[in-house]
């Protein structure tokens, strides 16, 4: 079976962020799962300009962007599926993640998106629900299963290793990856058969 390309996106730029450690944990789960080739994307590695292009047509044409921004767009374009790791800030997801999403118009279309959220008592579920709306608008397919870590600072050590409810989290990751594998394979075949056209 051909492996699908999975882009794992760490969504926070805040100082002292937990996102990269949680993204590392999830990437290990995905690597063990075996259905995916991984590409871990950290927005901190490729800062995006503050101002967006004026029109959707300009957003869709990445040829005029600086090389590092073209490379980022190409990595998202090559992905068959996405896993987005997000904290919850003020009942929603971070501005840096929204900026990354908004800079890329067509790369998400007809591809599945899995969500891994973390936060206080609620585990970032409001951030995840807001992201479902955003990705739906971009013609992506947010899958039903997601992973949520409440009080994440008690669950991961300083090196990003999961230290609480390890078996439960790994079982949740397997269920999510099984579902993401089904959707990524089905949508990849559909895109190859009939190129997706956003109305």
| Residue 111 in domain | yes
Residue 198 within any structural domain of the chain: no
Q: What pLDDT, in 10s, does the model give residues 49-88?
A: 999 887 888 888 899 899 999 999 999 999 999 999 999 9
CA distance 69 to 62: 8
The residue segments making up the domain with residue 103 are: 4-193
Per-position DSSP letters for 73-121, written without gaps between them: HHHHHH-SEEEEEEE-BTTB--HHHHHHHHT-SSTTTT-EEEEEEEEST
Q: Over the stretch 29-57, which tens digit does the pLDDT of each residue have?
A: 999 999 999 999 999 999 999 998 878 88
Question: What's the whole-model pTM score?
Answer: 0.95
Average pLDDT across the chain, whole number: 94
145 lies in a domain?
A: yes
127 found inside a domain: yes
Specify the pLDDT at position 8: 98
Handedness of CA 56, 58, 59, 60 (dihedral sign): positive
Q: How many helices (H) and strands (E) does the chain have?
A: 7, 5
- Tell me, rounded to whole angstroms, the distance of Cα 118 from its chain centroid: 13
Residue 26 vs residues 58, 102, 177: alpha-carbon distances, Å: 34, 24, 10
Phi, psi of 6 (to 5 degrees): -110, 120
Number of domains observed in the structure of the chain: 1
Q: Can you give the CATH number for the domain in which 72 is found? A: 3.40.50.360
Is 114 domain-assigned?
A: yes
């Amino acid at each position: 079976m051909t492996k699908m390309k999975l882009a794992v996106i760490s969504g926070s730029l805040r100082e002292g962020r937990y996102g990269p450690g949680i993204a590392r944990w999830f990437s290990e789960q995905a690597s063990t799962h075996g259905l995916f080739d991984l590409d871990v994307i950290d927005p901190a590695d490729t800062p995006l300009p503050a101002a967006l292009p004026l029109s959707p047509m300009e957003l869709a044409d990445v040829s005029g962007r600086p090389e590092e921004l073209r490379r980022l767009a190409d990595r998202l374009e090559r992905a068959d599926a996405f896993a987005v790791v997000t904290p919850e800030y003020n009942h929603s997801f971070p501005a840096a993640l929204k900026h990354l999403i908004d800079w890329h118009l067509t790369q998400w279309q007809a591809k599945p998106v899995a969500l891994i959220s973390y936060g206080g008592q609620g585990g970032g579920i409001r951030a995840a629900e807001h992201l479902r709306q955003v990705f739906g608008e971009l013609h992506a397919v947010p899958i039903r299963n997601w992973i949520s870590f409440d009080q994440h600072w008690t669950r991961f050590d300083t090196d990003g290793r999961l230290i609480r409810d390890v078996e439960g989290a790994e079982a949740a990751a397997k269920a999510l990856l099984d579902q993401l594998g089904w959707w990524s394979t089905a949508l990849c075949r559909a895109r190859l058969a009939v190129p997706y056209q956003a109305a």
